[in-house]
Amino acid sequence: MLVPTHHFRDIEREPEYLQPEQCIPPPDAGPVGTMWFIRDGCGIACAIVTWFLVLYAEFVVLFVMLIPSRDYVYSVINGILFNLLAFLALASHCRAMLTDPGAVPKGNATKEFIESLQLKPGQVVYKCPKCCSIKPDRAHHCSVCKRCIRKMDHHCPWVNNCVGENNQKYFVLFTMYIALISLHALIMVGFHFLHCFEEDWTNRLRAFGVTKKETAEPKVSHQEKKQPLKVSSTECSSFSPPTTVILLILLCFEGLLFLIFTSVMFGTQVHSICTDETGIEQLKKEERRWAKKTKWMNMKAVFGHPFSLGWASPFATPDQGKADPSQYVV
């Protein structure tokens, strides 16, 4: 039988449930600028795989397609664009992985902290029994991070972190830039295949002495027949044709897979931001207890005020405002 989610909330309303005497005071805050990092084996492995796949795409795009090309303008423009998008994707990945997603101080469910909230009659607070923290409204406990996260959307192993209030912007940028470099790589592979197949067939016909208007027997001497056929492939790749085909097919498979995956994730994240409802809240169908705002206000709350180019930069930190003590009170 399904148990309503509000049943657990009712249990937390009981005063004896808090049991502040059982909570150890939270440790002193570390030095300013301490890096946030989750020590999870699966998440670390997924993050390494993510970087490896991006660097593999870099290798194929640069050394298989662009550098061997004789069209320098094409190579320079696409090289700069692809490397810029890849750099922004990896920078966004680092910010999403190494930014505190909005963790609630661990073990703050102490008598002193509860008294500091100056609760009025009828006001209640929620305590997480797993991390012994007073949970702000819309916070959920993550079993991987072992912390309660404000506005937690989900835990993503690909960034080895939760997606929450403080790092949702970087996760959205990460999915967007990965989708863009995947699309860019697929387009370049398509042009590369068309160009090289045309060059390859043209060179073969010329090697046999056949033009487009000729259909007679190849004009090749007996001495030339004994020599191996030389078809210039330096214009298409510095690798052998079989190796080039394998590398491009793998890149196509990777690009198509990640284009679909990250596009869907990007769309769901933007929808979640616009509706101001996290993924967990949608799954649990939690009752809406917060004020409804416009979609534009919700976007500015995640990406920063006002609208600027900083929205697309993983190096611009959005202003989250000061902590409000009333966030713990319901």
Alpha helices in the chain (DSSP H): 5-12, 15-18, 41-59, 72-98, 111-116, 168-207, 222-225, 241-275, 279-284, 295-303
Q: Could you tell me the pTM of the whole model?
A: 0.79
Q: How far apart are CA 244 and CA 98, in angstroms?
A: 36
DSSP per-residue letters across 28-81: PP--TTPPP----HHHHHHHHHHHHHHHHHHHIIIIIIITT-S-HHHHHHHHHH
Active site residues: 156
pLDDT tens digits in sequence order for the chain, 330 residues long: 444 444 333 334 444 445 555 565 555 555 555 789 999 999 999 999 999 999 999 999 999 999 988 889 999 999 999 999 999 999 999 999 999 999 988 877 777 777 777 777 777 777 888 888 888 888 899 999 989 999 999 999 999 999 999 999 999 999 999 999 999 999 999 998 888 776 665 665 465 555 545 444 445 454 544 444 343 444 577 788 888 889 999 999 999 999 999 999 999 999 999 999 998 888 887 777 777 889 999 999 999 988 899 999 999 998 765 445 545 555
Q: How many CA atoms lie within 13 A of 3 on its CB side?
A: 6
pLDDT value for 285: 78
pLDDT value for 119: 73
Question: Do you find a cis peptide bond into 306, omega within 30 degrees of 0?
Answer: yes
Torsion-angle region of 11 (φ positive above 0: left; ψ -120 to 50: alpha; else: beta): alpha
pLDDT value for 12: 40
pLDDT value for 164: 94
* 3-state secondary structure at position 146: coil
pLDDT value for 210: 54
pLDDT value for 18: 52
